Structure formats: structure tokens, C-alpha cells
Amino acid sequence: MCRGRGQGYVGQGLALSDLMAALYFDEMRRTPAGDLHDRLILSTGHSAIALYAALGELGEFSDLELATYGMDGSRIEESPLAGLPGFLVTGGSLGQGLSQAVGFALADRLKGSNARTFCLISDGELQEGQVWEAAMSAGHYGLGSLVVLIDDNGMQADGDTAQVMTVQPIAGKFTAFGFRAENVDANDLSALRDALVRTREHSDRPHALVCRTIPGKGAPTLEAYTKVHYVRAADEVWQRALNEIR
């Protein structure tokens, strides 16, 4: 997808591939008609490349369309708009997704629905005050149907998260806001599946899985890339990375 234009959010796509696989092929339930009963709110819009890939595996997008990622006239934008299949909100402006997820979870409670809401946010987003207002609300209302997935990748556009503005200890902070929180290696599919199962076992409070990920996971060329938040590279770099993954 990134090779077509020679650039894109490939680091996030590879880092989150296990998480998307676990959510869409193991964890999120479907109705008898085949529609999703549970939902994912993608707060980090620029991580959409990982969700595009998962939706492609489900037949929502063709390989031909996925190859137009980020190109003029394509609906497969780097940061997608709400209304595109699989995307319930516009997540390009960071820090707002958890507030929207809290709204969905509260609405489900009022409707008597047992749907679960998963919300993917990033460690850099935790520098936004609105995130913590939403977390306070989730804890106050005891939203056991809400699972917050924090992409703890240690990097953001301006450098290492710890150097820009530290957000650690993430699990401890969410615990203080009334969440059941734990750390998980989100590039270990078995550990990730087990952690998601544990979120089903407690319904009295919201959940926070601090998902440690490695940007560019699976392709050493990209894992070592200095500016892995957004990769621009010559075609031979993309070919080498593809060969490493295969």
C-alpha cells in the first residue's frame, strides 16, 4: 500500500497488524446477519492503514483499491473520514476518539444493548487533556463494555514520546481513573488474545490494555528506520522490507 506512492504510515500498519487480526477475527462479535455487533473506534486516524488491511481480508476492500492508498481521488485516505466502511468516526484530529467511544458505550447502556466498544488510541494522544476527561467519565459510569487499547509504541511525529512529554506510567494512570488496566505485548498474538479474553471476565469497570508495539514489526529494515512515524523511501527500500516480511 505504501510502496505505490513511496510513503505512508507503514510503521503503524505493521505494529498493529496482530491487534487488528485479534479484534476482527477473534474478539468482536457479529450478528446472525453477519454485521458487526461490537465496534472499533479508531481515534488515531493515521493508523487506518492497519484497519484497511484487516477490512481487506474481510472482503470490504479489494486489493486493487487498497493499492490506491493515499492517492489523489482514492477513498483510501491516509486519515479516513467517517462514513467509509469500517470507520464510525473521523480520527484525524487526535485526542477525541475516547470521548466518542464513551458516548457509544453509554448509548448502548441506555438502549439495553450488550455491544462492546473498543477504542484504539496512541501513547502520544495521552498528552491531550480531553483523553483524561473521557477516562474520568468512563470510570465514573463504570463502563464495563468499553475496552481502551493504547498503542504504546514510544514514538510520535516530533520524536520519542518520553522526550516530547512523558505519559508513563500508562497502566497506573488508567487504574487511578477507575479502569482495570494491564500491559500486554501486542506483537505476541497469543498474549494479546489472552488479554482480550480477560476483558470479558469483568463488567463492573472499563478496561485499558496498554499495548506495547514495535513500529515496522516484522521488517528489520523498517524497525530500524529513524523516522518510522511516517516513512518516505526509495522503491528498493520497500522491496527489501517486503522480502523480509515474506
pLDDT digits (tens, 9 = 90+) for 35-50: 899 999 999 999 999 9
How far apart are alpha carbons 143 and 105 in whole angstroms?
A: 7
Domains in the chain: ranges and CATH: 7-27+37-245 (3.40.50.970)
**pLDDT one-digit tens code per residue, 180-194:** 999 999 999 999 999
Average pLDDT, the chain: 94
Q: What confidence tier does 228 reach under pLDDT thresholds 50, 70, 90? A: confident
How far apart are alpha carbons 199 and 225 in whole angstroms?
A: 34
Bridge-based pairing state of the strands 231-232 and 7-8: antiparallel
End-to-end CA distance of the chain: 15
Say yes or no to pLDDT of 246 above 80. no
How far apart are alpha carbons 239 and 67 in whole angstroms?
A: 15
